[in-house]
Amino acid sequence: MSFRYLNPKENTKFKDRHTIKVEDRKQWYEKGKKADVGIIGLPFSKTSISYSTASEAPSTIRNALGSYTTYSGEKDEDYSNVTMLDYGDVPIHPTDTEETLKRLQVSVMEMLETEACEKSIILGGDHGISFPSISAFQQKYGRVGVIQWDAHHDLRNLEDGGRTNGTPFRSLLEAGVIKGENLVQVGIRDFSNAKAYAEYAKEHGVHVHTMQDVEEKGIRSIVSEEIARLKESVDMIYLSVDMDAVDQAFAPGCPAIGPGGLTAGELLTSVALAAKEPLVKAMDIVEVDPGKDVRDMTSRLAAHVMLRFMYT
């Protein structure tokens, strides 16, 4: 029997013949394939200090790519030639946190070993995924510099609860994966951190830029200066974007929302600026909680961050 309208093999989604969506340029990884950007999902949020469904974020951010086209009107340039390989999501162990962290690190390392892409995007998950992810890049490249957009230092002690989404950068520093002077924190927010962790950052030489610094110096100036400094002492630069760095008005779907953060424009502009540097090889996006989001606002912003990283 033939149908007049139904076609079980086709997607019935509306398609404009002149419009290419970002998701159209994404393929699933297969051996031998090459692309400009690799994507991997680390859907882990069981170590979040507050309740979070950030484990669902990789799928919602991927879905949000369907909201954007490959054409930049501001640059009058079509990026439809930029391709993506999606490595899928790492399966999480249901109860064993250390086993999960091992799986995350091994999986990111395996992605890098395929040498199929020049840049990598890691979709969390809570910020705890940055510890295994950055550890994998350190194994691959050597000296790693990190620019972290965040309201929080994420330098909490490990005695009160072990590894959580508040400890990744302390874990990296104490494991010797990164050096304090090679860690840059941008957007640290007032009344959001303990004095002990501000002092820990200072003692270890972490370059901390608060929201007051952003307001006084401008985020472009801060990022430009830090990129210029880092490139003299590291082998690669990794961007870590905690979406709670953004003001709650622009990113309501985060476990730790708050006022006084970055605007969406400041985040997008600064990520795009950093991504122009050839030493910037990877970026993670973390702390998107779809269960707390409003009309996928935060996932859509995260997807837009991906575009600013890819289309440079």
Binding-site residues for Mn(2+), in ranges, read 127, 150, 152, 154, 242, 244
Nearby residues of 89 by Cβ (< 8 Å), 6 or more positions away? 40, 41, 42, 43, 58, 59
Cα 93 off chain centre by: 22
- Kindly state the DSSP code that residue 69 receives in the 8-state scheme: B
Helices in 153-296 by DSSP H: which ranges? 168-174, 195-203, 211-217, 219-230, 264-275
* 167 neighbors 153 (Cβ within 8 angstroms): no
Closest CA to 185 of 175, 163, 170, 174: 170
Both structure tokens of 290:
């779809």
Question: What is the rounded distance in angstroms from the CA atom of residue 128 to the CA atom of residue 148?
Answer: 13
Q: Which residues are annotated as a binding site?
A: 127, 150, 152, 154, 242, 244
Distance in angstroms (rounded) separating the CA atoms of residues 209 and 189: 9
- Cα-Cα-Cα-Cα torsion 66, 237, 197, 96, nearest 10 degrees, comes to 60
Find how far residue 147's CA is from the centre of its chain.
11
d(CA 16, CA 18): 5
| DSSP secondary structure code for residue 47 in this structure | T
Pull the structure tokens for residue 310: 């890819």
Start-to-end C-alpha separation, the chain: 50
Task: Give the DSSP per-residue string, 110-132.
Answer: HHHHTT-EEEEEEEESSGGGHHH
Q: Do residues 288 and 254 lie in contact, with contact meaning Cβ atoms separated by under 8 Å?
A: yes
For residues 120 and 282, the answer to whether their CB atoms sit within 8 Å is: yes
CA distance 134 to 234: 13
